[in-house]
Amino acid sequence: MNLLPNEAIDSIEGLSGIHAGYRRAHARGVCYRATFHPSGEAASMTTAAHLQGGQLDAIVRFSGSSTDPALADLLSPAKGMAVQFQIPGGKTTCLVGVTVPVFFARTPESFLDLVRAVHKARAGHLSMLDIFKEVAEHFSESKESLLAVKRLLPPASYATNRYYAIHAYYLAGPDGSTRPVKFEWLPDAGLETLSLKEAASKPTEYLEQEMQERLLRGPASFSLSIILGEDEDPTNDSTQAWPDHRERIHAGRLDIHEAIKEPSGLVMDPTSVVPGVELSDDPILLFRRAAYNESYRRRSIGT
C-alpha cells in the first residue's frame, strides 16, 4: 500500500476534530527569533552552509504534540522544537525535533494503522492507559516510543528539554565522503522537569509564559550535537535509537532571543536539506514533506 498524504491528514484530523487554521499536529506553538553560531567543528564532514562559521538568523517554534490547540501543556507529554536556519542568499533548512528519541511507526502505512487503532480504542471509550496497552500489544515497533513517552515528566520549560531530530541523515564532506548522522539539541540550562502535582497547579499555557519570563533575563541557548553513526546503525528505522555512546560533535550554539508572530508561510519541513546534508532512506522522513504540505494547504485556506 502506498499511503497518500491526504489519508494521513484525514486520519490525524479524526483524533481531535478539525481546528481551522491550525497545524494538524503540534497544533499549539510559539515562534521565536534566534541566532545560530556554528562551531565549525563539523566543517570537515559537511559542506552545509549553516554548519561552517559565522552567525545565522533562525526561527524556532516550540510546540505541544497534540492535534488539539486548546489542550493544556500538561496533557500533551511530548514537546516539539523546530528550527529553520536562514542561510545567506535566501535558502532555508530545518531541523525538527521532539522530546522522545524514537518514533512510534516504522512506515507511513503503520503510522496510519496506529492512528486508526487509536480511533477505534477511543470509540470504545478506552482510557488513555488502555489505549497505550492496546497499541503496545499490537504494534511491537511502537513499544520503545510509548515507553519513552510514559517516562516523560512535564518540562519546567521549553528551554530545559533535550530534543531529538530522530531520523538519520547523511553529511557530505568537501572531500566527497558521506557518513550517517543524527541531530540533537541539548539545553545549556540543563534538563529540568516538574512533578505532575507541580505542573497541575500551573496555567494551561505555562510553558509559553515561562519562556516570556526567561527571555527577559537573556537568551535561552541550546547546543547542536551531531551523532556519528556506525555501519551497524539503522538509517531507515525511526523506531530504533542508536547506541548512547556514539561519538558526538558540538556543531554550534543556538541563542533564542524573543517571541515573534509566526511568519506567514512557515512550514518546518525536515526534508528541506541544503547541499552537504542528504536525506536517509527512512520512509517516515521521506513521507513527511507531503504530509506537512497537505497540512499547510488546509490550514492556510482556513480549514
Which CA distances in Å does 233 have to 46, 83, 97, 165? 20, 25, 19, 16
295 binds ligand HEM (CB under 6 A): yes
111 binds ligand HEM (CB under 6 A): yes
| Residues of span 213-252 touching ligand HEM by CB under 6 A | 238
Site stretch for ligand HEM (CB under 6 A), options 21-29, 121-129, 178-186, 196-204: 21-29
Query: Which residue has the CB atom at the shortest distance from ligand HEM?
Result: 80
Of 72 and 166, CB closest to ligand HEM: 166
Which CA distances in Å does 271 have to 147, 185, 256? 27, 18, 23
23 binds ligand HEM (CB under 6 A): yes
Site stretch for ligand HEM (CB under 6 A), options 186-194, 204-212, 252-260, 295-303: 295-303
114 binds ligand HEM (CB under 6 A): no
Backbone dihedral angles phi then psi of residue 231, each to the nearest 5 degrees: -50, -40
CA dist 35 and 51 (Å) reads 13
Of 43 and 152, CB closest to ligand HEM: 152
Number of Cβ within 10 Å of residue 153's Cβ equals 14
166 binds ligand HEM (CB under 6 A): yes
Contact 23, 29 (CB under 8 A): yes
Contacting residue, 98, 224, 249, 256, with ligand HEM by CB under 6 A = 98
Of 32 and 206, CB closest to ligand HEM: 32
- Which residues have CB under 8 Å from 90's CB, separation 6+? none
- Which residues have CB under 8 Å from 201's CB, separation 6+? none
- Shortest Å, Cβ 103 to ligand HEM: 4
- Shortest Å, Cβ 265 to ligand HEM: 10
Of 225 and 295, CB closest to ligand HEM: 295
Q: Which cell is 224 given? A: 547542536
- Shortest Å, Cβ 269 to ligand HEM: 8
Of 29 and 77, CB closest to ligand HEM: 29
Of 46 and 67, CB closest to ligand HEM: 67
Q: Which cell is 129 given? A: 492507559
> CA 33, 38, 43 angle in degrees (round to 5)?
145
- Shortest Å, Cβ 42 to ligand HEM: 20
DSSP structure string for 196-258: HHHHHTS-TTHHHHHHHHHHHTS-EEEEEEEEEP-TTS-SS-TT-PPPTTS-EEEEEEEEEEE
Residues of this chain that bind ligand HEM (CB under 6 A): 8-9, 23-26, 29, 61, 63, 80, 82, 96-98, 103, 108, 111, 165-166, 238, 267-268, 284, 287-288, 291-292, 295-296, 299
